[in-house]
Amino acid sequence: MVNGIWEDFLKIVKEEAGSRVVDTWFKAVSLYQWDSLNKVVYLLAPNTFVKDWLSSNYVVIIQLHLSRLFNVDTLSVVFVDGSKKNKQKSGTSETSRTTEGGKIDSLVPAKLDRPKKTSLIKKVVSKKRCHINTNYKFENFVVGPSNSLAKAAAQAITEKPGYLYNPLFIYGDSGLGKTHLLHAVGNCIKAKDKNKSILYQTADRFVNEFINAIRFDKIHNFQSKYQCVDVLLIDDIQFISNKEQTQEAFFHIFNALYDSHKQIVFSSDTFPQNIRGLAERLRSRLSCGLVTDIHTPALETKVVILKKKAEMNKLDLDDKIAYFIASTVDSNIRELEGALIRVTAFASLTNQPLSLELAKRVLHKTEKIKKDTVVDFQNIVKCVYRYYNFDIKDLRSKKRNKNLSLARQVTMFLMKKITNRSLRDIGVFLGGRDHSTVVHALDKIEHFAVANHCFCEQLKKMEQEIRGR
């Protein structure tokens, strides 16, 4: 009966608080005992960390739903610390009892065990895999106007980690070199001091690791791993948005590292202030150091990147071929490298010399897409004019009346959806607006289309007209 009630409780909480809360906290807990006479439910938590968190944040929801499931007016909740269960048997109980009013009555004050920063722990942590890719170095990072500040800042922090530009926050669209710089920082610091403990981690991997630490009672190992590193490199930090408990854990890790002058580097696809679902105190910490961006490189920089990649693979790439490939790919560095691989692989597999003619044949479809993309901006503006009667001068102006603002936002939405050009390119084309303005426009049009069927149909019709040229 007790197990069945707990399963029903988990289903209710999942609907009310979300699956992430259930997976992170409640699935790590079990209904240990039900005292029907005194109306007390005992919940077994795997460790002090989980016990304290549930006591502080989820008492009301536990009392509300368990009282209904047990068919009583109200009940008290006692959290049992599973990690101290043996001590409880010997008379040193460490439980916290929640009374009807929701106040916690600590029978024995429980303290959150904090990892001891001993030399032994640090030695163990430093020997673990740090996930650094040794192929990414400053030496093979091609610098141009689009990324020079980010590269200079990343290289500067390696001179005195933890004291200059801490934290460093690098943002920009996908595939422009943010990950390369994070790994380069790690490789450079490691080369200067082999005793430095360096950890590269993606945000989604951090989230999964935190959840597993809670569920399998390894929270202290988790804390030790992160609080004892000298350099922490977090990629795609935006993925911890809307994850309240993960942000709480990361907030304390950040503070511990920052106060100890340990270097922290973040990457994201957007500016810190534009990351939605982020606690304000964490947002302020992400942007308290140096924030710099990387944007789409110019044609000349892309040519240099191609030449560099060809040189690394011992290929002789003619300048004309490099310029053709660079002019064909408009988006990011990964696609640029992919185009080079397609051309060189085709030449190798068919035993043909690497030539401009061969590159044109291989990339013919890509070239056509690129040409179409160039005219899409103009075609979209013409289409918007037919529906809203605002021309390019209006769309680029600083005027912000309601109808013009809607037309401008529709233009941004269609440009992003049809051309797949970067947010920066769209903003620049429409009067030099920043990418956050474009992000706001995309979100507003998406929500408006969901709520308004007629508007949604109009967007589809406009898209069909533009694609039907």
pLDDT digits (tens, 9 = 90+) for 188-236: 999 999 899 999 999 988 988 898 888 788 888 888 889 889 999 999 9
pLDDT digits (tens, 9 = 90+) for 1-21: 666 888 888 888 877 767 767
Lowest-pLDDT range, 115-129, 252-266, 360-374?
Answer: 115-129
Mean pLDDT of 74-87: 74
pTM of the model: 0.57
Q: What is the pLDDT of residue 180?
A: 93
Q: What is the pLDDT of residue 412?
A: 92
Query: Residue 115 and residue 258: Cα distance in Å, rounded?
Result: 17
Among 422, 419, 392, 418, CA closest to 407: 392
At 47, the amino acid letter reads N
Q: What is the pLDDT of residue 331?
A: 65
What are the sequence ranges of the domains in the chain?
2-106, 123-293, 299-303+311-362, 368-467
Q: What is the pLDDT of residue 83?
A: 66
Report which of residues 412 and 71 the model is more confident about. Answer: 412
Mean pLDDT of 310-314: 82
Lowest-pLDDT range, 3-7, 113-117, 353-357?
Answer: 113-117
- pLDDT for 311 beyond 90: no
Tokens 């979209």 locate to 380
- pLDDT for 118 beyond 70: no
Q: What is the pLDDT of residue 153?
A: 92
Q: What is the pLDDT of residue 388?
A: 92
Q: What is the pLDDT of residue 417?
A: 84
pLDDT confidence tier of residue 184, bands split at 50, 70 and 90: very high
- Judge whether 10 and 29 are in contact, CB under 8 Å: no
DSSP state of 143: P
104-106, strands of its sheet edge to edge: 30-35, 40-45, 76-81, 95-98, 104-106
What is the DSSP annotation of 19-84? HHHHHHTGGG-EEEEEETTTTEEEEEESSHHHHHHHHHHSHHHHHHHHHHHTT-S--EEEEEEGGG
Decide the pairing of beta strands 40-45 and 168-171: unpaired
- Judge whether 219 and 49 are in contact, CB under 8 Å: yes
At 237, the amino acid letter reads I
pLDDT digits (tens, 9 = 90+) for 83-100: 665 444 444 444 444 444
Question: Domain 123-293 in CATH: superfamily?
Answer: P-loop containing nucleotide triphosphate hydrolases (3.40.50.300)
pLDDT confidence tier of residue 102, bands split at 50, 70 and 90: very low
Q: What is the pLDDT of residue 186?
A: 94
| Domain 299-303+311-362 and domain 368-467 have a common topology | no
Share of the chain above pLDDT 90, in %: 20
Mean pLDDT of 406-417: 91
Q: What is the pLDDT of residue 410?
A: 94
Q: Which fold has domain 299-303+311-362?
A: Helicase, Ruva Protein; domain 3 (1.10.8)
Tokens 């795609």 locate to 236
Query: Which secondary-structure segment (H or E) carries 352?
Result: none
Mean pLDDT of 108-124: 40
Burial code of 414-445, b = ≥16 C-beta within 10 A, e = fewer? bbbebbebbbbbbbbbbeebebebbbebbebb
Share of the chain above pLDDT 70, in %: 85
Q: What is the pLDDT of residue 190?
A: 93
- pLDDT for 42 beyond 50: yes
What is the DSSP annotation of 289-343? SEEEE--PPPHHHHHHHHHHHHHHTT----HHHHHHHHHH--S-HHHHHHHHHHH
How far lies 188's CA from each of 132, 194, 237, 305, 401, in Å? 11, 10, 22, 21, 51
Query: Residue 268 and residue 237: Cα distance in Å, rounded?
Result: 6
- Judge whether 190 and 132 are in contact, CB under 8 Å: yes
Q: What is the pLDDT of residue 32?
A: 83
Helix (H, G, I), strand (E, B) or coil at 255: helix
pLDDT confidence tier of residue 106, bands split at 50, 70 and 90: very low
Structure tokens of 19? Answer: 């699956």
Q: What is the dihedral of CA 303, 305, 308, 313, to 10 degrees?
A: -100
Q: What is the pLDDT of residue 1?
A: 62
From the options 1.20.5.510, 2.120.10.30, 1.10.1750.10, 2.60.120.200, give the CATH code of 368-467.
Answer: 1.10.1750.10
- pLDDT for 124 beyond 50: no
Q: What are phi and psi of 158, to 5 degrees?
A: -75, -15
Q: What is the pLDDT of residue 152?
A: 92
- pLDDT for 110 beyond 50: no
Q: How many CB atoms lie within 10 A of CB 183?
A: 22
Query: Residue 144 and residue 79: Cα distance in Å, rounded?
Result: 58
Query: Residue 165 and residue 182: Cα distance in Å, rounded?
Result: 14
pLDDT confidence tier of residue 270, bands split at 50, 70 and 90: confident
Report which of residues 124 and 233 the model is more confident about. Answer: 233
Residues in Cβ contact with 201 at an 8 Å cutoff, skipping those fewer than 6 apart: 131, 209, 232, 233, 234, 235
What is the assigned CATH class of domain 2-106? alpha beta
